[in-house]
Amino acid sequence: MGSGKLKWALGVSLVVNLFLIAGIVAGVLVIQHHVHDWQQHHQGPGPGQAWSDVEAKLSPETAAHIRQLVKATALETEPDMEKARALRGQAETLAAQDPYNPGGVVDLAEQARSYENMSRARVETALIQDLARLPADQRKAVAGFILRPGFRLRRLLGPGAPYDKRSGVQASAKAASQSQLSH
């Protein structure tokens, strides 16, 4: 190979490598940007983060009292939760049998959900009744935490749902206008 062809090959190789490196750098930057945007978009307080925000607004004694109240009430509801776990186990066993009985599985799951909801309601009721001993600003902080819709449901349905705080009234107005357009 002549020295002229070697210089051309080296030059082409250098240009290709530079484009390759620039492409990799650009790809990494774009991916980082999209990951950051996704995290911002899907960011929501987990249950621990949200409670720590509420605790910051409470006195240490009040926060400890509320934790103790929740623990005591949850222990009182343990028999209901045990029934729910047993019913879910029965539903799982029934779902694995042939012939498949979807009605039986649904009935067992509904019974389990009923016991779980009764337990949650007892904890929530105990907290709501206990709020009377708190000043208004602390009541507001605790009530905002315990009365909000479940965070898992919000994450499951995603942004833009009618209840979504980020989309606010716009989401329900958009849904209403779309339903009017479809009629």
Average pLDDT, consecutive stretches of 10 residues, N- to C-terminus, the chain (183 residues): 83 92 93 81 55 82 86 88 93 92 92 90 88 87 76 46 45 44 45
User: Is 170 contained in some domain?
Assistant: no
What b-and-e string marks burial along 37-52, b requiring 16 or more CB atoms within 10 Å of the CB?
Answer: eeeeeeeeeeeeeebe
User: Is the whole-model pTM more than 0.85?
Assistant: no
User: Is 108 contained in some domain?
Assistant: yes
User: Is 14 contained in some domain?
Assistant: no
User: Is 164 contained in some domain?
Assistant: no
Range of the domain at 107: 50-149
User: Is 31 contained in some domain?
Assistant: no
User: Is 66 contained in some domain?
Assistant: yes
Total of domains in the chain: 1
Angle CA(123)–CA(127)–CA(133) in degrees, nearest 5? Answer: 160
